[in-house]
Structure 1
């Protein structure tokens, strides 16, 4: 790939690239936080001519200028699209956050892309590289997405390039280490005063040429004869790796017989193997020095993207159905086909309003046309299902805050769409007369609760609208109105995710909120049999109030709810007032007895009572029923029941011991373990929900960012007495 001609396309080239799916490349940049993805994106844009030497486009925007939060936090928090043009191709670079809290943005990038660049930093320990990127690599492998690896920060390397490529081969090429091999080796200059030798160029293993960047411009020079043995050894292994994946079965025999395989054949086979996702080359890259036009390795990387990564024509499009779920024929990447596009990201602009980043899978999307919006199966997260028609606003190609107008977006391309007021992330856009729905893409489950309340009355009026707009932009959030605890809960992926949500509520939607302790829905039940007498007798002139009832309460098995049994004989309580007693008992049970939590799992039997021919009433017997239940509770121990969750934790084998110990410290009961794929173990446990409010954060610490878990409600169980007493004290000793 190092021998290909490259040039910036003219206007005709840009038109062809914009109109032909075969000339589009959609590439997502993946890597751990701090690996240098955004810097690499800017370096590629500079080399391709999309940025000037100051790193800016014509209006002064940069790649990372889109979100003010990113500037304050000094890290990427959202997916950004940077389209560049190179040698007649349009390359959509999708820069993703590396921090685990923003994995939803990463998933959006994977959905929109056809290939992935894994960016790993030589400035970090090789083990950290593996733990942070292994899960995403396996996710890409599961769908056959082509992948390549880019090593950054060679100028401040803690891990040498050779060592890092070896680790990548072991981690990412677990089944076949020879499928992950360097395509280039770094060329080092003279050591500086600190003893560190700068990287000045790259050695092309296939072409056996040096691509020197020391002058700020890429120049090709012959290698030093002293380098020949090192080049030959690495080149032989690379050629064997390429030939092993070649579709030409005779090539290996010819190579083993000593035949010299010509360079064009090797490059062609390499590109085919990369596009099929069976070979993963390793490259090196660095940003351009001050005043330079090209960053080290950027030309080689652009050549790999255009020559080795597939066009949108090659991968299969996701399955589609009608909005009602009826199957439809799979669509293909054809600009003349039926319109099928998907919203992969939703953002708000203070001047333009809602902006939707859309990947067009089939057909052609045009401004000002009416489309059908279908979606999207996330009602449990506060996202309503959609089945409406909307008019598309202007189309543009975003670059930071700069927007380049588009007259259309063809199959395979990405575009920003303005003024889609109803469409949310994950929704499908299709023709109004032929509505379709794409198969949903997996979203992580938010497991960190954030209980919110409005800071003031004015904020209370804006809170619901602000939260609705927030979750419309981010489908990894879940909005819950918990009736049991009467709390508004925003479920997030982690602390950084929660911080960004709060900052957007304040800065973008003008809502000030207070974060309050998250409450779990506790229950109460009787610890044994008890009896109670409710007497409500008042006389104040005219009609009085008269009702007396006697009840017996006994506990029932978990999950039984409340049973009310009538055993009154002789008409001691008139028939018309028995439902009143039940209503009063159930109302008091809902209010709670010891700490204000609902009463469950008891049988309440009405045994006897008294009535007055004039003063008895429905209201009087409701009050008497409530009083009787409270008196019964006063003579019996009331148990607090806490919800218990079934927790399933998946971690690398080396962290199983720490995870099990941590779960035990949370009053958890480990019920089993089993091996999973990729040297990982699944730990199943039952843990009180009050103990796992921050488990999304704590598991990340225990497992060094490699663990994930799911939770589901199992049942309510009695709370230990010492913890129950503390809860009662916090509740202010609610009246019995």
Structure 2
């Protein structure tokens, strides 16, 4: 089916784990005529959960994409993972859509994942729809849930349809306001949402006040509705039962009639090579600009790059560049994804989601384009959670080191919240993720896909070092070996910077006492010393180095001499600048049964944690927010399971770095066996 940009709707299904996103995904595909029978999460027959780990665990781990062509509308649906452990894949999908449908379990109400997804979608400027699922669950108090949603997320949350007959049907209250429902009045709900919509636009409001509702055409209502969504002035609430299909067709009709198409959504935050914001206008005749938001390493197809087209038209045989590469690749095959199936298509226009295969240089968040006029263009990165949970890996079988490295690279390509590091000084390979479960799934995939088994152990904590005072340093490097000598002399000073400021290198040399060509060598020496640390062997940060004087010799001065002089002058200065060790402090959110609150808060306090607040959740669950040193949380998964009978959950996000207590610094310093280089 051919379609235009105005006929496309891009929607991500997000929300808390267990809200029924995947079941809704199946129900929508069934209602849209894509599949004959909805699949089952329990039986592992869904279109989205096709990975062996997803089937075994009964929940989504990656995002899955499928499309529906219905009533002249092309709807791209992205099913996302609900567990916070797999947020990377969920958030990456937000870069490809105009609308996020946040699915809420009618029985459980507002949960932690509901809040997270609402916040992420709002920050990205995306239209939001609250989809209340499982409305036919016995005991679901839907009217009270609407009040809760409005209390939690604002009065702009309003129903566009209402359940009736105990959740066995839904009635439209936007275009139609008559009929009895399980709520007190469909007409009242109709009036409430109409008032909210028309007030966004002066012309629409004027026509409504002068001539009444009958004076407004469906086009006027659509334009006002879409503007409300784009500006966050309205968050529609829709009611469905994905299990029975109630409300599912109505949701598809809502998507086609009222949700924004790609030309109506808020402009994506693209920037040029200098960081200046630029507008990508969605013109199909202009140069191609597309953003890769998902990578799949398929054992049969090879590497698959899934992208959203923002401008221009991609056809088979189109030559495309990846970022600033000089050499283009030719699009041999262009695919549309329907779950695990790859459907070959002729072209992809602005708003389309498509994929290309077997392009090795393609990577997550790459910009594809067809002209060097677009060199340097990039989509503003999503604010992904920082991977804080780490494991050190050792191949179980000798000779698999290279295979392990290649497997980790492939897995990290697919997940923006998976990091791989190799610590040369310890010969230690470390992988970092969002949680114990995140890394456990990654290791199982590595074994199943690539045949690599590993042994694991806790890695060193990612401490850092810095300085607490100003100091000056000096070193003269002089060597004479009978032939050409080496000479370089450097005077510099170091100053502490604010936490998180990083590193600054400043040139204040006057009169040419050190020629400009040797300043990069001095900086190289400084950076070498910073990597090795000054107190306990950890990298240094948050400091400024200013080179202000020195000497050189017209014959004997060489780059190697100034590398050594810069390194040792820096070490001299740091030794006098009160060096300190910094430890990572993480934001901890712990969801527990209320009965466990005493044990959990006591345990956190014993780990030098600061309790920042608590929130009571529905169902008697308590959410504790705290900040704690990462080093104290090494065994926390096991401890939390024991304290809560396996019912506790937690997540970590890097907050900032703080100086360690003096006893900890002494312990780290004594354990460090520095390697002293000899020149």
Specify if TM > 0.5: yes
Q: Aligned with 1:43: secondary structure?
A: helix
Question: 1:108–1:344: 8 Å Cα contact kept in structure 2?
Answer: yes
Q: Which residue of 2 aligns with 1:10?
A: none
Confirm whether residue 440 of structure 1 aligns to residue 417 of structure 2: no
Q: Aligned with 1:489: secondary structure?
A: strand
Q: Aligned with 2:450: secondary structure?
A: coil
Q: Which residue of 2 aligns with 1:493?
A: 434
Q: Which residue of 2 aligns with 1:305?
A: 255
Question: 1:206–1:263: 8 Å Cα contact kept in structure 2?
Answer: no
1-structure distance, mates of 2:183, 2:82: 38
Judged with a 3 Å threshold, the aligned counterparts in structure 2 of structure 1 residues 706 and 500 are, in CA distance, closer, same or farther, namely closer
Judged with a 3 Å threshold, the aligned counterparts in structure 2 of structure 1 residues 470 and 643 are, in CA distance, closer, same or farther, namely farther
Question: 1:117–1:148: 8 Å Cα contact kept in structure 2?
Answer: yes
Q: Aligned with 1:508: secondary structure?
A: helix
Q: Aligned with 1:81: secondary structure?
A: strand
Judged with a 3 Å threshold, the aligned counterparts in structure 2 of structure 1 residues 318 and 281 are, in CA distance, closer, same or farther, namely closer
Judged with a 3 Å threshold, the aligned counterparts in structure 2 of structure 1 residues 598 and 105 are, in CA distance, closer, same or farther, namely closer
Confirm whether residue 25 of structure 1 aligns to residue 2 of structure 2: no
Question: 2:293–2:308: 8 Å Cα contact kept in structure 1?
Answer: yes
1:181 to 131, 136, 158: 158
2-structure distance, mates of 1:600, 1:337: 46
Q: Which residue of 2 aligns with 1:342?
A: 291
1-structure distance, mates of 2:364, 2:130: 29
Instruction: Note the C-alpha offset of 1:313.
Output: 1.1
Q: Which residue of 2 aligns with 1:424?
A: 363
TM-score by length of 1: 0.66
Judged with a 3 Å threshold, the aligned counterparts in structure 2 of structure 1 residues 514 and 426 are, in CA distance, closer, same or farther, namely same
2-structure distance, mates of 1:337, 1:366: 13
Q: Which residue of 2 aligns with 1:627?
A: none
Q: Which residue of 2 aligns with 1:48?
A: 32
1-structure distance, mates of 2:363, 2:183: 56
Q: Which residue of 2 aligns with 1:232?
A: 187
Q: Which residue of 1 aligns with 2:337?
A: 398
Q: Deviations over 1:137-185 (max 9, x none)?
A: 1232234321111111122245312111111111121xxx1x2111222
Instruction: Note the C-alpha offset of 1:481.
Output: 1.2
Q: Aligned with 1:156: secondary structure?
A: coil
Which moves more between the two structures, 199-208 or 28-37?
Answer: 199-208
CA RMSD for the aligned pairs? Answer: 4.7
Q: Which residue of 2 aligns with 1:35?
A: 19
1:360-375 equivalences under 5 Å are: 360-374=309-323
Q: Which residue of 1 aligns with 2:129?
A: 148
2-structure distance, mates of 1:87, 1:29: 21
Q: Aligned with 1:249: secondary structure?
A: helix
Instruction: Note the C-alpha offset of 1:269.
Output: 4.1
2-structure distance, mates of 1:254, 1:558: 70
Confirm whether residue 709 of structure 1 aligns to residue 653 of structure 2: yes
Q: Which residue of 1 aligns with 2:143?
A: 162
Confirm whether residue 250 of structure 1 aligns to residue 191 of structure 2: no
Judged with a 3 Å threshold, the aligned counterparts in structure 2 of structure 1 residues 499 and 598 are, in CA distance, closer, same or farther, namely closer
Question: 2:385–2:653: 8 Å Cα contact kept in structure 1?
Answer: no
Which moves more between the two structures, 396-405 or 271-280?
Answer: 271-280
Confirm whether residue 136 of structure 1 aligns to residue 91 of structure 2: no
2:52 to 68, 74, 90: 68
1-structure distance, mates of 2:601, 2:608: 11
Question: 2:132–2:240: 8 Å Cα contact kept in structure 1?
Answer: yes
Q: Deviations over 1:12-58 (max 9, x none)?
A: xx21x1xx2111111111111111111111111111111113659xx
Q: Aligned with 1:425: secondary structure?
A: coil
Judged with a 3 Å threshold, the aligned counterparts in structure 2 of structure 1 residues 692 and 644 are, in CA distance, closer, same or farther, namely farther
Q: Which residue of 2 aligns with 1:358?
A: 307
Judged with a 3 Å threshold, the aligned counterparts in structure 2 of structure 1 residues 600 and 667 are, in CA distance, closer, same or farther, namely same
Q: Aligned with 2:343: secondary structure?
A: strand
1:98 to 82, 86, 92: 82
Question: 2:66–2:338: 8 Å Cα contact kept in structure 1?
Answer: yes
TM-score by length of 2: 0.71
Q: Aligned with 1:331: secondary structure?
A: coil
Question: 2:297–2:303: 8 Å Cα contact kept in structure 1?
Answer: yes
Q: Aligned with 1:497: secondary structure?
A: helix
Q: Which residue of 2 aligns with 1:578?
A: none
2-structure distance, mates of 1:695, 1:137: 28
2-structure distance, mates of 1:311, 1:95: 19
2-structure distance, mates of 1:704, 1:519: 26
1-structure distance, mates of 2:464, 2:376: 45
Judged with a 3 Å threshold, the aligned counterparts in structure 2 of structure 1 residues 274 and 303 are, in CA distance, closer, same or farther, namely farther
Question: 2:132–2:238: 8 Å Cα contact kept in structure 1?
Answer: yes
1:645 to 559, 574, 583: 583
Judged with a 3 Å threshold, the aligned counterparts in structure 2 of structure 1 residues 228 and 418 are, in CA distance, closer, same or farther, namely closer
Q: Which residue of 1 aligns with 2:507?
A: none
Confirm whether residue 315 of structure 1 aligns to residue 265 of structure 2: yes
Judged with a 3 Å threshold, the aligned counterparts in structure 2 of structure 1 residues 430 and 187 are, in CA distance, closer, same or farther, namely same
Q: Which residue of 2 aligns with 1:505?
A: 446
Q: Which residue of 2 aligns with 1:200?
A: 168
Question: 1:61–1:401: 8 Å Cα contact kept in structure 2?
Answer: no
Confirm whether residue 474 of structure 1 aligns to residue 412 of structure 2: no
1-structure distance, mates of 2:361, 2:539: 42
2-structure distance, mates of 1:463, 1:169: 49
Question: 2:590–2:649: 8 Å Cα contact kept in structure 1?
Answer: no
Q: Deviations over 1:525-567 (max 9, x none)?
A: xxxxxxxxxxxxxxxxxxxxxxxxxxxxxxx9999999999xx
Judged with a 3 Å threshold, the aligned counterparts in structure 2 of structure 1 residues 470 and 254 are, in CA distance, closer, same or farther, namely same
Q: Deviations over 1:482-504 (max 9, x none)?
A: 23443211010112211121012
Q: Aligned with 1:66: secondary structure?
A: coil
Consecutive unaligned residues in structure 2, runs of 5 or more: 477-530, 541-578, 615-622, 674-679
Question: 1:370–1:432: 8 Å Cα contact kept in structure 2?
Answer: no
Judged with a 3 Å threshold, the aligned counterparts in structure 2 of structure 1 residues 204 and 516 are, in CA distance, closer, same or farther, namely same
Judged with a 3 Å threshold, the aligned counterparts in structure 2 of structure 1 residues 508 and 167 are, in CA distance, closer, same or farther, namely same
2:229 to 268, 274, 284: 274
Instruction: Note the C-alpha offset of 1:696.
Output: 9.2
Q: Aligned with 1:411: secondary structure?
A: coil
Q: Deviations over 1:606-637 (max 9, x none)?
A: xxxxxxxxxxxxxxxxxxxxxxxxxxxxxxxx
